């Protein structure tokens, strides 16, 4: 999820008219102070060797715009299971980020932006890559700030740092404690190929769909503008290699899922 951006109406009208139109649909729009966007991905049921299940999203389709607004995430569904995965891996903290929730706007599904096609794809059982826009209230932003303060007291985690040779540089990867067998990790399956060479600097982990990897929980970091993916990155290793600096790298969370 990208950092929240303030709701500058003239700027949105000129530069992001699709976001401007969404904001105009909100009730009590004066409550909202910022907006953000992120990708929400699901593996196909076939890839998980499971019988088809309902996605479990109740949405509404306002007149005059293409995006769909989420009204409810139903229990015991593909959507609720995906949300639970994020919580179990510590990838959801301030304002429920990474978890689809009521009030979110679905603006694209598998790169399709027209309402009819998005609805058809969501009703299927295949892999989904959903582009989501979320508007944030003052309370949401305060909750995020409180979470950030609380995290400063937590044990030190590996933190990507930015280069100084240009603006909007990606994280400079730094490994977790090398060779520490006590580092908490989770096994994940790669659901989408990821070319680490698309990142401007080295230190990212090449991914091939179907492979198993280990990620160190709690190392998630936000993407920067120059990263190739608009999602958080976590530190991980191929599951068959030793957990050390040389074998590890940063990878986008939207490319992995619980096996």
The CATH number of the domain where 199 resides is what? Answer: 2.30.30.40
Cα dihedral angle (59, 65, 66, 71), rounded to 10 degrees? -10
| Residues comprising the chain, all counted | 259
- 140 and 180 share one domain: no
Residue 155 belongs to a domain: no
The CATH number of the domain where 50 resides is what? Answer: 2.30.42.10
pLDDT in tens, 3-45: 778 888 888 888 888 888 888 887 766 788 888 888 888 877 7
pTM of the model: 0.64
Residue 105 belongs to a domain: yes
Residue 152 belongs to a domain: no
- 125 and 175 share one domain: no
Domain range for 75:
5-147
CB 155 within 8 A of CB 198: no
Residue 156 belongs to a domain: no
pLDDT in tens, 87-102: 655 554 443 456 889 9
- 80 and 17 share one domain: yes
pLDDT in tens, 166-185: 322 333 444 444 344 455 77
- 64 and 129 share one domain: yes
Give the domain-ending residue among 103, 119, 147.
147
Helices then strands, each counted (H, E), the chain: 5, 13
């Amino acid at each position: 999820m990208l950092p929240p951006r303030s709701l500058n109406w003239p700027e949105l009208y000129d530069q992001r008219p699709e976001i401007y139109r969404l904001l105009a649909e909100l009730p009590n729009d004066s409550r909202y102070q910022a907006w953000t966007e992120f990708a929400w991905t699901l593996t196909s049921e076939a890839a998980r060797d499971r019988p088809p299940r309902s996605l479990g999203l109740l949405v509404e389709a306002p007149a005059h715009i293409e995006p769909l607004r989420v009204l409810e995430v139903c229990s015991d569904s593909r959507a609720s299971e995906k949300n639970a995965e994020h919580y179990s891996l510590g990838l959801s903290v301030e304002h429920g980020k990474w978890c689809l929730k009521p009030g979110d706007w679905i603006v694209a599904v598998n790169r399709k932006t027209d309402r009819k096609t998005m609805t058809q794809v969501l009703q299927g059982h295949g892999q989904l890559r959903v582009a989501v826009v979320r508007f944030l209230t003052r309370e949401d932003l305060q909750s995020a700030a409180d979470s950030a303060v609380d995290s400063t007291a937590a044990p030190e985690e590996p933190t990507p740092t930015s280069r100084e040779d240009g603006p909007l540089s990606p994280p400079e990867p730094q490994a977790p404690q090398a060779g520490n067998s006590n580092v908490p990790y989770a096994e994940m399956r790669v659901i989408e190929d990821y070319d680490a060479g698309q990142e401007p600097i080295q230190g990212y982990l090449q991914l091939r769909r179907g492979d198993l990897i280990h990620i160190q929980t709690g190392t998630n970091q936000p993407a920067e503008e120059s990263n190739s993916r608009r999602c958080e990155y976590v530190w991980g290793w191929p599951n068959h290699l030793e957990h050390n600096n040389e074998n590890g790298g940063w990878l986008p969370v939207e490319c992995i899922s619980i096996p």
